[in-house]
A and B are shown apart, each in its own frame.
Chain A
């Protein structure tokens, strides 16, 4: 999968003055996120599983993402559905915007559905200050939708509508 596009975020205040007062996010549309990752120059894989950080989060240095080692235990989506259960190490990369940073949506005990970026040093989960669709909790609908998008190579207009969350 390729990656393209930017996040659905706006920072109110940046436009109106120096002082940043509020970060507003829009709920990402999973189908739209799929198309974006698909069109990206990076390669992505879809995984369903639990993520357990194995490292402590390093201190925040402005303008630089924070990297944290983690263990993924779950399954990867292929054209014929999910493969066998597997465990492997990965990296969580937290991005910040001003003083707002990304975070995992699920506890280490819960499964999540994620788009993992395949990099030279392994799989990376990018977490933006605003959720960008790279991870979400796995409902049956979402999984089925992603599966059909993967088969077709893209999510269609109706998929986009189905994943409208409000």
Chain B
């Protein structure tokens, strides 16, 4: 049978393999292998990539009508036990795959992040249905030949003919002898041999990189690598002919690889995803979704559901029913329902979020009348992929939702997706540079030029400017290696919030491992892998502005007795739009950046949909596609609104003929350039990952020629494609922009009507947004808010609103604004405060505040209310000795205490106080720093004649 390479080590054996899994897949295709396996050490993290690559090759062949053998990916791994016994394991069927995943899960959950403690007994216990290829004793195994044989015999007794011995060359001139010895050993054990080149790279040209990876792994310089280096460039993938030459006399071992591959029929396509069933609580999922949606509409429209909305819902439900997505919507609803029961503010976004169904289920608060896109574009029948709904939760409380998911579905059924951390510029330069022995200065200099770094290294001129010689061989080599290593996976990390929840055991689908963060578990595949296998993912994300809005709503309820939700805010308030038109948007979600502030007075938003556009337009996509100026000219009436064609007029009508949203760009590809929906979707996907793979250009020609064929202007076509490219990573779909626009409106409404409460909530949600507390406080004061300083007798940890004595509210700054202050200390100060402290020492005595914290408080001028200015308070704080007071001897006995003479400390000037305020709190309620310099900057002022007081 034809040779199949069963032991390829990819770069998902971090700092081990020298090639991508995709590269092995392409190489196997070039060699016309019928199958191939990617076998990373105790990991299956890279196999989906090879699988997807092979699927893509097959698709291209189908499209072009070419005939060729496309290799089948054999899901596999290389098991390595804690005592160093090593073997390749290939599951024969789905059940064996499940066992393999559970075995790896068990071993990984015993260890810390990124580690795996696999015991030999685990393999004996869960290895049923796996094909084992033992790596022979000569290549590894620290326990020596006898230990190895004992282990091998144990495996043979348990799994019989499923065990073979791998015959692998070392390319050192001794291979023939080695093969004979392995064959003899196998005969003695009653096993068959299987040939493998055990590649660590797809081509020999990766040898140098492979050595550098070894250096990084072992913290060595390349000059000290010694015998850890590959002795030659031979450990690459080989075709059958080369293998037969290499294994002369052992050809049967080469052919046996094909036989084993033939026995392993399991494919990743068999991993059928099943939705969790408990979300339907005994009802049929579709029936439950329909019932909840109808009930939800009644809740959303208490005065009667509009006919149009009801019709839209029926239409959506029919489509959802047809595609079987009801459990997905119910899963998202379940999370949102939990959040609501805990008073955690949340808001859905993503392609399917702005549907009537999601509005009715409370996933989003954007009224379905706002969107212009039809539901089919989000839940596509043709694409047959799960809909996408991301849910943002308050950033301080998202963990509660995550723990709820673990609790409700169990850790064996829910896990976070991984994020593969790749080598990017800085890390690549640092680690490769260090391994190549470059000096720290050179590495820093190269890092500083990162922006100029394209494919093919830094231009010579730039290197010369750095004082480096571009022809110096070591430097040239380093830069070349840096280029090669960029895009290599470095380690797995946890995704920001992508949860996979399954009906059956998740660990029988994919191995689960511990994340660095306590209480978190992650699977080893990232979101693209999950997507490729059609597995459902719910994004549980966090958003600082939701925290801020929730806090503001709570403050309004507490102080004004009015209860608001995102959906119940008074809509289309002209005062809010007046404020935004004046670019008075500091702290307002999304529109607070300088670019947005600059755009607001030109855009002059007057309706909610204007905000949707506002959010979408100041993004790299429309900017890169030069869509901003045409849009604004049209909006201001300076340019006629025209459409490139009637067909595109339908798509672009609401945005004055200028494409601004991701869906519009995709629609142009379909309507304008004649893409099939499938092609348009592939374009969208390739754009989303083009940073990693860079395969957009094939679509560019297709797009431009398609547009030209349909009679569109070349310039328009080029601009559209430019925008599509920009959308890749940064574009907003309309539904997404609408969800965000609601948060823009909500935050703007709060700022407009309750500036004090908004500033207070914003300060209590820090760090978030564009601006520092100093700017937020200054802005609040400019809006007439009374801001009161931190006070030992009035402040809490958080900033709070307190009566201003005139029937209104004042913002009292909290201890959290003080640098170096801990919440725990603030808590005790408040707990023991009772009816107030009378002196600095009193705080120490009653709240047990340690002297160094008293100093921190003194530096923040928190004792002013006790009559102590900053210096006096510091003087008293310094006088406090001992971490804790000794209560029984608090009062000095007569004659034993030293009477301290009163001191008169020099008063601090306003300038000194301002500086100290900034040092301590990063803000001041005193004069603006520039106000102190104003006299100096006033024309005609002579500092010599009139020295500053």
Contact = CB atoms under 8 A, between A and B. Distances in A.
Contacts of A23: 845-846
Contact of B888 (A15, A106, A130): A15
Given A108-B558, A109-B800, A25 B890 contact: no
Given A24-B885, A106-B796, A107-B798, A84 B341 contact: yes
Contact of A24 (B341, B343, B823, B890): B890
A105 B884 contact: no
B849 to A, nearest CB: 10
A17 interface: yes
Interface string A64-107: 00000000000000000000110000000000100111110111
Given A22-B890, A109-B798, A102 B834 contact: yes
A127 B833 CA distance: 11
Given A24-B885, A27-B848, A107 B796 contact: yes
A85 B834 contact: no
A30 to B, nearest CB: 11
A26 B887 contact: yes
Given A106-B796, A109-B798, A130-B846, A21 B890 contact: yes
Contacts of B848: 25-27, 166
A83 to B, nearest CB: 11
B891 interface: yes
Interface size class of A (residues with CB under 8 A): 35 or more
A119 interface: no
A12 B824 CA distance: 26
A138 B599 CA distance: 43
B786 to A, nearest CB: 16
B883 A137 contact: no
Nearest to A13: B891
B845 A110 contact: no
B555 interface: yes
| Residue of A21, A26, A131 most packed against chain B (CB within 10 A) | A131
A155 to B, nearest CB: 19
Contact of A22 (B554, B801, B842): B842
A135 interface: yes
B832 A131 contact: yes
B845 A109 contact: no
Interface string B838-864: 000110011110000000000000000
A131 B885 contact: no
Given A105-B827, A109-B798, A24 B887 contact: yes
B915 interface: no
A152 interface: no
A109 B847 contact: no
A134 to B, nearest CB: 10
B887 A12 contact: yes
Contacts of A127: 834
Given A23-B846, A24-B886, A166-B848, 19 more contacts: A10-B888, A16-B893, A22-B845, A22-B890, A25-B845, A25-B887, A26-B848, A27-B828, A27-B847, A100-B846, A103-B836, A105-B827, A106-B830, A109-B800, A127-B834, A130-B832, A135-B831, A136-B827, A165-B828
> 4 nearest interchain CB pairs?
A12-B890, A24-B887, A105-B831, A131-B831
Interface of B: 341, 343, 554-555, 558, 796-798, 800-802, 823-824, 827-828, 830-836, 841-842, 845-848, 883-891, 893
Interface of A: 10, 12-13, 15-17, 21-27, 50, 52, 84-85, 96, 99-103, 105-110, 127, 129-131, 135-137, 165-166
19 contacts: A12-B889, A17-B891, A22-B890, A23-B846, A24-B845, A25-B846, A25-B848, A25-B887, A102-B834, A105-B831, A107-B796, A109-B800, A109-B801, A110-B796, A110-B798, A110-B800, A137-B830, A137-B831, A166-B883
